Structures are given as C-alpha cells and as structure tokens.
Amino acid sequence: MKVENTKAQMRKGVLELCILSLLSEGEMYPSDIITRLKEQELIVVEGTMYPLLTRLKNAGILAYTWKESTSGPPRKYFHLTESGTQFLKELLGTWQRLVHVVNQSTKNLVENE
C-alpha cells in the first residue's frame, strides 16, 4: 500500500472543514478558496471543488450570490448559511476531539523519535 494514497484520503477528509472555515470569514469565489487552500499546502483542483460546493449548497450549508465580474460573466460567491454556521461549529468540535484522540494514540511514537 502506498503512503500517498493514505495521505490523499486524509486530505479529503479535512477538506470540507477547511472550506467551511474559510467561508466563515466571509463570502468567496471558488478560485479564491482554491488559492487560499493551496497557500496552506492543501492542494485542491476545480474538479473537486465545484461538486463539493454544490453538495454543500444542496444540503443547505452554503448559499451563493451572483456578482458582476469586470473580466467576464457574473460569478457565484459562496457563503455559509445560518445552518451552515451551526454545522461548522459541530464539525469543528468533532475535529478537535479527533485530533485529541489521535495525539493521545500516537504520543508514544512522537516521544520516541
């Protein structure tokens, strides 16, 4: 088994949390979300981003507004809905508990390095 496959699965698992966290700062255009994630070394491609944003919108977690663009057609800017903000809080709580458990489970490995 290649470690790269496992790393990719781990990144996919936290992608939704990272996107929602970015959107908690305010509305964003998808390519801006991708840029911000790349700055954090979480590589995402448009083919992954748009289906995820659509799924979150259909679930009522995100909504979007159309804004005119100076360089082409209007653009969709995504933002959290009220239920999306609550969903993010719950997701963040789960993430914090998971990080704690993983840190406790791997503590002996880190201490022995």
Could you tell me the mean pLDDT of each successive run of 10 residues in the chain, 113 residues long?
A: 82 90 96 93 85 96 94 94 97 94 86 66
CA 23 – CA 17 distance, rounded (Å): 10
Instruction: Give the pLDDT confidence score for residue 56 in this predicted structure.
Output: 96
Architecture of domain 15-111 in this structure: Orthogonal Bundle (1.10)
Q: Is 21 helix (H, G, I), strand (E, B) or coil?
A: helix
Place of tokens 């954090």: 40
Instruction: Give the pLDDT confidence score for residue 113 in this predicted structure.
Output: 62
DSSP 68-103: EETTEEEEEEEEE-HHHHHHHHHHHHHHHHHHHHHH
pTM score? 0.86
